[in-house]
Amino acid sequence: GNSFNGKILNDNGEFRINGRMLVSQYVMLEATGYYRNEVTGKNSNSELTLFAISDVNDRNTVNVNLLTHLEYERVVYLVTQGKMKVRKAKKQAQKEVFALFGIDASDFQNSEDLNIAGQNEADAALLAFSVLLQGDRTESELSELLTKISTDMEEDGIWDDAAMRMNIAEWSADADSAGRLAT
């Protein structure tokens, strides 16, 4: 029931909140701001809001990203309706989100630990995931897509929109053949 506001500290999107007064080890984060479009390499023209749920018991950093956002509603559903523990719900939701594009996330750390500028396989998967979802979409189109995916996955962990998945695959093939993904 408590709310803490933070301010972005640098161009990497890092922010800090004073969490000394937290009464729970779990936090629900909402981050709103401009972002770097990984397809164009430019800053977004408008803001995007992303969410995350994290166990901050043994951590000082939480990365809010597309994965944390897409797993958010699923985690809430699994905890409130499925009576699952948060840690287990997060693992299941993360696995289901990565499965959207056939990525096996069994050995990945938590989504809030991933960084698109990181050096490991999980970080690379986050970057690929971010590029695929961004595509040539505007910020509002990306936000709408994220809402549709998370709403569709909330109860069963499956994204049923085969037409949109095909659209994303076709965009990816076209962008790759044009050399756009190499940069």
pLDDT digits (tens, 9 = 90+) for 119-143: 999 999 999 999 999 999 999 999 9
| CA 139 to centroid of chain Cα atoms | 15
At 22 the pLDDT is 64
Would you say residue 163 has pLDDT above 70? yes
Strand bridging mode 26-33 / 48-55: antiparallel
Q: Could you give the CA distance from residue 79 to residue 87 in angstroms, rounded to a whole number? A: 10
At 57 the pLDDT is 83
Residue that has been written with the tokens 């933070």 in this structure: 6
First-to-last alpha carbon distance for the chain, in angstroms, is 43
pLDDT in tens, 34-45: 999 999 999 999
At 55 the pLDDT is 87
At 7 the pLDDT is 67
Reported confidence tier of residue 14, pLDDT bands at 50, 70, 90: low
At 1 the pLDDT is 64
At 24 the pLDDT is 77
Average pLDDT, the chain: 90
Q: Look at the chain and count its residues.
A: 183
Would you say residue 178 has pLDDT above 90? yes
9 contacts 31 by C-beta, under 8 angstroms: no
At 16 the pLDDT is 62
Residue range 148-173: mean pLDDT, rounded? 96
Residue that has been written with the tokens 């166990």 in this structure: 55
> Lowest-confidence range among 15-19, 80-84, 112-116, 153-157?
15-19
pLDDT in tens, 56-91: 887 777 889 999 999 999 999 999 999 999 999 999
Q: What is the 3-state secondary structure (H, E, C) of 14-74?
A: CEECCCCCCCCCEEEEEEEECCECCCCCCECCCCEEEEEEEECCCCCCCCCCHHHHHHHHH
